[in-house]
Amino acid sequence: MKRRDLIKRGFRNLRRNKSRSVLTILALSIGAITLVLTLGLGNALRSTVDTQLADITNLVLTVTLKSAADKNATGVSAYNPDAKVITSYQDGPDGGGQVQLMTKEQIDQLATVVGVARVWPSYAVSFEYIKLADSKNSFVVNSVQEQSYNTVEAVSGTYPTDWKDSDVVLSDTYADSFGLSTDQMVGKEVVVGYYDRNAVIQEKQFTIVGVIKTNNGFGPRGGSTIGIATLSINALASIYNDQFKNTADYNKFASASVLLSSTDVEAQARSDIQAINQNYGLSSISDFTDTISTVLNSITLGLAGFSGIALLAAAFGIINTQLMSVFERTKEIGLLKALGMPNKNVRRLFSYEAIIIGVIGALLGTVIAFGVQELINNLFKQQLADAGFINGVINLSVKDILLVVIGLGLLSWIAGVVPARKAQKLDPMQALREE
């Protein structure tokens, strides 16, 4: 008997028991829907994170100095008055140990590492106010940030890749305060005011080269009243000198940033930096993205596991349906065997029927899941985009759909083994005599 004829016969049998077949397929498709949606959700989360982080290069390493911790000690360490370092009570990047401040010399030493293009300390500076050069109205600056080596999208103007000392990028929240559109802001001169070490206000003039969104993905975040100014590292360094020179903590920094010439040198640079001082803690955005993908994958897998339980229940539905089918069609099986159909083909016939149920269930589930995807992604388009899901919260991939269809075909085949074997073992004469 040809395989095509067996499959055709399988379809005919399923059609004959329409309601039962449909119900079994529906049960299976519900499992398929949840599985496909779960995988689609995982895809969307991953792709959203990837898009958000795509602009962030892995070229910048953050270096901190952890206090040498005695791993065997318990309790809190005793205060050492001769330590000559300021102990900061914040957790290190890997959750353990306290962070010591780094000296300028230590930081400069990092520049000797091969593959390091630039090294700079974390300049913590603060501004009192900002105002247009030709205006008297001044506004607060909530956060002063250093230039980023990542691509940042500007609403107006450009986010410089090659910063001049006089460049400033402001958040779009200043547009209302200045009474200008974001486009009008570009090119305007602004004056910032800050206290120097003698508590005297100093002013410095900058040119607005770009305006960015306050709420920019995983980047700088803030409400509609938060003012953020971004400056070049050089400008920050000079303001830092104005603010802290000759103070006790001058040239002691919580962390340093290291710009690598390429991602290829990251591994070597990391070990070289660690070789300088084993207490250096290193972190880069890749550590962060790795953690995020691990978490996302775990969530997706966990949810998929729940769908798996639904599918398991559906598999028992297939076993039930096919067993009933064997009982009902005992005479037909007897006839087919009496007419010379080999036992092997009888088994195949029932296996194919189970697989057909599985594949149709998977396809139906996929189609419904696709509908759900379109519905949710379009209905909540704006809300999702605001939350950072630019490409929607469900994102079905061909690979996942293929996986689900093949997987469910396989599952159904396994579920159909017991009924198929039962059919295979029927004695034709007894089957025909059955009333």
10 binds another protein (CB under 8 A): no
Is 66 or 347 the residue whose CB approaches another protein more closely? 347
For residue 429, the minimal CB distance to another protein (Å) is 5
Whether the Cβ atoms of residue 400 and residue 41 lie closer than 8 Å to each other: no
For residue 7, the minimal CB distance to another protein (Å) is 12
339 binds another protein (CB under 8 A): yes
| Separation CA 107–CA 237 (nearest Å) | 14
* Contacting residue, 341, 372, 376, 403, with another protein by CB under 8 A: 341
Q: Taking Cα atoms as reference points, which of 207, 208, 228, 214 lies closest to residue 153?
A: 214
242 binds another protein (CB under 8 A): no
Max CA distance (Å), the chain: 109
* Contacting residue, 75, 95, 223, 340, with another protein by CB under 8 A: 340
* Contacting residue, 345, 373, 395, 412, with another protein by CB under 8 A: 345
3-class DSSP assignment, residue 395: coil
For residue 355, the minimal CB distance to another protein (Å) is 20
Total of residues contacting another protein (CB under 8 A):
21
Take residue 228 and report the two structure tokens written for it.
């953020």
Whole-Å CA distances, 383 to 27, 299, 413: 32, 22, 42
Whole-Å CA distances, 429 to 342, 419, 420: 14, 19, 18
* Contacting residue, 122, 143, 343, 391, with another protein by CB under 8 A: 343
425 binds another protein (CB under 8 A): no
Is 312 or 338 the residue whose CB approaches another protein more closely? 338
For residue 359, the minimal CB distance to another protein (Å) is 23
Within 10 Å of residue 111's Cβ, how many Cβ atoms?
14
For residue 21, the minimal CB distance to another protein (Å) is 14
CA atoms in the 13 A half-sphere facing the CB of 285: 21
Q: Taking Cα atoms as reference points, which of 364, 102, 145, 395 lies closest to residue 250?
A: 102
Binding to another protein by CB under 8 A, coded x per residue (else -) over 15-54, reads -x--------------------------------------
* Neighbouring-strand partners of residue 145: 230
- CA 365 and chain centroid, separation: 26
| Separation CA 310–CA 362 (nearest Å) | 13
| Separation CA 433–CA 367 (nearest Å) | 44
* Contacting residue, 9, 20, 131, 421, with another protein by CB under 8 A: 9
Is 187 or 342 the residue whose CB approaches another protein more closely? 342
For residue 323, the minimal CB distance to another protein (Å) is 20
Whether the Cβ atoms of residue 62 and residue 286 lie closer than 8 Å to each other: no
| Separation CA 342–CA 339 (nearest Å) | 9
Choose one: 82-90, 176-184, 196-204, 331-339; the region binding another protein (CB under 8 A). Answer: 331-339
1 binds another protein (CB under 8 A): yes
* Contacting residue, 125, 333, 336, 355, with another protein by CB under 8 A: 336
> What single letter denotes the amino acid at residue 162?
D
332 binds another protein (CB under 8 A): yes
The runs of H, that is alpha helices, within 85-144 are 104-109
Choose one: 4-12, 48-56, 122-130, 189-197; the region binding another protein (CB under 8 A). Answer: 4-12
Choose one: 182-190, 245-253, 305-313, 333-341; the region binding another protein (CB under 8 A). Answer: 333-341
Residue 369 burial (CB < 10 Å; 0-12/13-18/19+)? Answer: buried
Judged by the rule CB under 8 A, the positions of this chain that interact with another protein are 1-2, 5, 9, 12, 16, 331-332, 334-336, 338-343, 345, 428-429, 432
